[in-house]
Chains A and B, each alone.
Chain A
Amino acid sequence: MITNTERRNFLKQSLLGTAGLMIGFRETASGKTLVGLLPAELSTEINPFVLIDTNGIITLVNSRPDMGQGSIQAVTSLLAEELEVSMDQINIIHSDGQAKYGSQGSGGSSTVRGLWTSLRQAGAAAKEMLIEAAAKQWNVRVDECYASEGMVYLKGSDKKLTYGILAKDAVKLEVPKNPKLKEPKEFKILGKYKRRSDIPSKTNGTAVFGIDVVVPGMLYAVTIHPPSVQGKLISYDDGAAKIIKGVKHIIKTESNFPGGKTEAIAVVADNYWSALKASKLIIIKWDDGEMTKTLDTATYFKDAYEIASKPGIRAEEKGDFEAFYAASDKKLESIYETPFLSHAAIEPVNATAHVKEDGTAEVWAPIQGPDGALEETADFLKIPKEKIKINALLLGGSFGRKAYMNFMKEAIDISRQVKAPVKLIWPREEDMMQGPFRPAMLSKMKGVIGNKNRLSGWSHHVVGESIQAQHWNALLPYQADNWLSGEMSMENHKYDFEVNSESFSRVKTPIPTLWWRSVYASNLSWGQECFIDEMAHLAGVEPLEARKQLLHNSKRDLKIIEKLEALIQASPALPADHARGIAMFRSFETMSAAMIEVAKAGNAVKVVKVTSIIDCGQYVNPDNVKAQTEGNISMGLQAAINGGITFTQGKCDQTNYHEYQIMRMSEMPQVEIHIIDNEEKAGGVGEPGLPPIAPALGNAIFNLLKKRVYKLPIDLNTIAG
């Protein structure tokens, strides 16, 4: 891992070099254009992913913050593969949000699928220029040369030149418009097992997370927010707090929530413990507001069920479902429910900011996108982006939370007021109670069994708060949330129903909501995949067979079904009191299936084993695909069996991990992951393993107990009672 100091030193060094080669992108109206960049531009603008300086140091840029999903390795592997350098000979630096690095948000499982071609092109273009520079020097044709491990060789001779020597000539050459990319069979890095270079630093305490950054002269801050949703500060008495040794300031700070802002109290001290201790001694009067008296999750769901009884806004339709449903005699209807959830990353949200007297500002934070952070900082401070430096540090988990940067703005506001660098860490209780949360949703399902017991008619009506509407007021009353429409679309899932209809109704709530690992897919899959099983049972067809029939047009998905069948055939007969359930769900261009084995133990059900299959097309590192899928099993199971965020009179009821249970070692079942290998377009990896977990469990429980569960979370300790 490269620290910020090292990074700065490196940048200094490379600026001192007389010449070098950098390849970046310029975003033009017609798309991305590869361009050659002069090192002198480095400090100011540029979008350089490949830096080769005259000392021979090869540096690749990771433009997607790493929250554990492995982007440090993934992004640089794409570059290194085509550049013909090994992963052991590169330095890695992180982008700082400047526009010409392109989009820098880790989210939507977009890193590898979004950069698969463009970053390989950047690597390949640099390699072709280096080869051309060598060919010129030797006075030979380019096809007489080849590149390997950071060197250009002349075929049939012992002549070779390092990239470092060639860089200054290469940079003067024209950037190839369409550099030739390798065929997958030629890959040396992509698709192969490779240990992650960041892992040793995560076993010895040297990895620097956002919370670990040290800035000379910095103060430490705690913010205390209104405990009630959108509550307002009336007054506070800091008499007992300000006499705590080390406390420097107790001030008001602006605090943002989705769609609005309020005030919080900031305690600033010369060490974090003093700030934390003092924060508990302030007597604060909050105005909870009239609205919070009736703001609770029970009312949210009551409203949701009422709204579900009326038609929704159409998102997708094939045929006339309502007519089809009315005319049929074999049909069913169910409503599935998913709760609000907390991200609950172990590193609480935090940020360090320094708003300087000279009108510049610097931010160090665990954030999912330095470009967004730069934008928001500039907007908040009303200063040009050129005067801001963003340092995107390692995230100690995020799962979507740290892409919403209200904590960063608080740190900036506090630093501006106290005129010193400030590290703000939200105490766990603030992190958990303030959210924002994965929205709770209902899936109202209707199905029709047609001729020959085919699953013929399908209706999915999703009812819940829209993240887009709540954050940006981005939804007109007649519009369906388009993230949600995409995730529920039958064109996406390729289930070929004769007639189908997908629709959405918003449940407006001030309970703050946010994307959470796999976004709405984590809600939608529960209703969708449990209901496929319900329909199959009504039709008298095996659920796996029913899916096979529905997917008859999608060869790629049928392969997953075949894999499931093969796994079932190969496994020993289930013991008595054991059962399995399956589910599959496509999200972020990846199909994932899960098969869960459960066992009855008295009144309880135990999750014995989870087998996941993932078809994400081409990928970078199979071991990391497995690791992400294991993580999705853990988080998907937690969402199915534990917790759930609830609100009473405007306040979140859960304050810390003793009240919001996340998975523990003893709850983790056996896991088995299978990757489907093919040469399809790279799909997402960080999220798609999650959606099928809850419904596979629901289906397994039905097969075990003949009891259909409609509501999450499931209490496994009493379910068989």
Chain B
Amino acid sequence: MATFNLTINDQRFKIDAEEDMPLLWVIRDLAGLKGTKYGCGMAQCGACTIHIDGAPVRSCQYPVSAVKKKQKITTIEGIGTPQLRHAVQDAWIAEQVPQCGYCQSGQIMSAVALLNEHPDPSDAQIDTYMNGNLCRCGTYDRIRKAIHKAADQSKTKTMGSH
């Protein structure tokens, strides 16, 4: 057992955990942030996707001890607020993407990372980047549309600021 000082969604957490405990369970059960989901436990479904310093990570396969000092962890709860949603969340609502919604935290975290890397992704880039995020309800077509919509909105915003 060791103590870890983690920064999750810009908040400090002092966590006592075994070193091999995956971040998924640290986030869900010790930090109490339930938006990050368990699906497969072997980085096969993407439901547990979070960001470490902005890069998407499968938290079910990422031991808490691997988090370096000063690294920032972001979960679905940290990308926007109900008052000030992230463009991806807005697009998800506009396209009415979620059905059951269980995989959508992971989908959104991957989509945010995709747009950071490719602000205006092609369908092929979306296919490649999002291929590890499984959705059993079959919302893929709407996810694709929502990613394009979020990209368009960001473009409009950028243009407006000039």
Partners in one complex: yes
Residues of A within 8 A of B (CB): 66-70, 195-196, 198-209, 211-212, 214, 220, 245, 271-274, 276-277, 344-348, 394-399, 425, 427-428, 623-624, 627-628, 630-635, 656-658, 662-666, 668, 670-671
Instruction: Tell me whether B10 is interfacial, beta carbon within 8 Å.
Output: no
Number of A-B contacts (CB under 8 A): 182
Q: Which residues of A contact B135 (CB under 8 A)?
A: 346, 634, 663
Q: Which residues of A contact B77 (CB under 8 A)?
A: 204-206
Q: Which residues of B contact A208 (CB under 8 A)?
A: 34
Given A202-B104, A205-B35, residue A276 in contact with residue B41 (CB < 8 A): yes
Closest to B77 in A: A205
Q: Which residues of A contact B4 (CB under 8 A)?
A: none
Instruction: Tell me whether B73 is interfacial, beta carbon within 8 Å.
Output: no
Q: Looking at the assembled complex, report how far the CB atom of A341 sits from the nearest CB atom of chain B, in whole angstroms.
A: 12
The 3 closest A-B pairs by CB, nearest first: A205-B35, A634-B138, A396-B102
**Which residues 8-42 of B sit at the A interface, judged by CB distance below 8 A?**
18, 20-22, 25, 28-30, 32-42
Given A199-B96, A428-B39, A656-B42, residue A346 in contact with residue B22 (CB < 8 A): no
Q: Which residues of A contact B72 (CB under 8 A)?
A: none
Q: Looking at the assembled complex, report how far the CB atom of B13 sits from the nearest CB atom of chain A, in whole angstroms.
A: 15
CA A668 – CA B143 in complex, angstroms? 11
User: 1/0 per position for B133-162, CB-CB distance to A under 8 A?
Assistant: 111111111111000000000000000000
Is A395 touching B100 in the complex (CB atoms < 8 A)? yes
Q: Which residues of B contact A635 (CB under 8 A)?
A: 136, 138
Given A220-B29, A344-B136, residue A68 in contact with residue B142 (CB < 8 A): no
Q: Which residues of A contact B130 (CB under 8 A)?
A: 665
Given A663-B138, A666-B131, residue A203 in contact with residue B98 (CB < 8 A): yes
Interface class of chain B by DSSP: loop
Residues of B within 8 A of A (CB): 1, 18, 20-22, 25, 28-30, 32-42, 44-45, 47, 75-77, 80, 82, 85, 89, 92-93, 96-105, 108, 126-128, 130-144
Is A272 touching B143 in the complex (CB atoms < 8 A)? no
Q: Which residues of A contact B39 (CB under 8 A)?
A: 346-348, 428, 657
Q: Which residues of A contact B100 (CB under 8 A)?
A: 66-68, 345-347, 394-398
Closest to B140 in A: A668
Given A199-B93, A427-B41, 11 additional A-B pairs, CB 8 A: A68-B100, A199-B101, A204-B85, A204-B89, A271-B25, A347-B37, A347-B102, A394-B100, A630-B139, A631-B137, A664-B131
Is A665 touching B30 in the complex (CB atoms < 8 A)? no
Is B141 touching A668 in the complex (CB atoms < 8 A)? yes
CA A596 – CA B145 in complex, angstroms? 21
Given A202-B101, A207-B101, residue A273 in contact with residue B29 (CB < 8 A): yes
Q: Which residues of A contact B92 (CB under 8 A)?
A: 199, 203
Q: Looking at the assembled complex, report how far the CB atom of B24 sits from the nearest CB atom of chain A, in whole angstroms.
A: 8
Q: Looking at the assembled complex, report how far the CB atom of A340 sits from the nearest CB atom of chain B, in whole angstroms.
A: 17
Given A68-B137, A271-B25, A657-B40, residue A346 in contact with residue B45 (CB < 8 A): yes
Closest to B22 in A: A273
Is A203 touching B96 in the complex (CB atoms < 8 A)? no
Q: Looking at the assembled complex, report how far the CB atom of A268 sits from the nearest CB atom of chain B, in whole angstroms.
A: 14
Is A205 touching B140 in the complex (CB atoms < 8 A)? no
Given A656-B40, A657-B134, residue A203 in contact with residue B141 (CB < 8 A): no
Q: Which residues of B contact A273 (CB under 8 A)?
A: 18, 21-22, 25, 29
Q: Which residues of B contact A209 (CB under 8 A)?
A: 37, 101-102
CA A344 – CA B44 in complex, angstroms? 13
Q: Which of A67, A348, A427, A664 has the most CB of B within 10 A?
A: A664
Q: Which residues of B contact A198 (CB under 8 A)?
A: 98, 101
Q: Which residues of B contact A347 (CB under 8 A)?
A: 37, 39, 100, 102
Closest to B76 in A: A205
Is B40 touching A428 in the complex (CB atoms < 8 A)? yes
Closest to B102 in A: A396
Q: Which residues of B contact A200 (CB under 8 A)?
A: 82, 89, 93
Taking a contact as CB atoms closer than 8 A, the residue among B21, B38, B44, B89 that contacts A203 in the complex is B89
Q: Looking at the assembled complex, report how far the CB atom of A281 sits from the nearest CB atom of chain B, in whole angstroms.
A: 13
Is A204 touching B82 in the complex (CB atoms < 8 A)? yes
CA A662 – CA B45 in complex, angstroms? 10
Is B25 touching A631 in the complex (CB atoms < 8 A)? no
Is B127 touching A665 in the complex (CB atoms < 8 A)? yes
Is B18 touching A632 in the complex (CB atoms < 8 A)? no
CA A239 – CA B30 in complex, angstroms? 26
Given A271-B29, A665-B143, residue A346 in contact with residue B138 (CB < 8 A): no
Q: Looking at the assembled complex, report how far the CB atom of A673 sits from the nearest CB atom of chain B, in whole angstroms.
A: 10
CA A67 – CA B38 in complex, angstroms? 17
Is B29 touching A658 in the complex (CB atoms < 8 A)? no
Q: Which residues of B contact A277 (CB under 8 A)?
A: 20
Is B41 touching A203 in the complex (CB atoms < 8 A)? no
Q: Which residues of A contact B80 (CB under 8 A)?
A: 204
Q: Which residues of B contact A624 (CB under 8 A)?
A: 96
Closest to A343 in B: B136
CA A203 – CA B100 in complex, angstroms? 11
Q: Looking at the assembled complex, report how far the CB atom of A631 sits from the nearest CB atom of chain B, in whole angstroms.
A: 4
Q: Looking at the assembled complex, report how far the CB atom of A229 sits from the nearest CB atom of chain B, in whole angstroms.
A: 23
Is B136 touching A623 in the complex (CB atoms < 8 A)? no
CA A397 – CA B139 in complex, angstroms? 12
Given A67-B100, A658-B42, residue A271 in contact with residue B30 (CB < 8 A): yes
Q: List 30 A-B contacts (CB under 8 A).
A: A198-B101, A199-B92, A200-B93, A202-B101, A203-B85, A205-B76, A272-B29, A273-B29, A276-B41, A345-B100, A346-B39, A346-B47, A346-B102, A346-B134, A348-B38, A395-B100, A396-B37, A397-B102, A397-B136, A398-B100, A627-B142, A630-B138, A631-B99, A656-B40, A656-B44, A657-B39, A658-B42, A666-B128, A668-B140, A671-B141
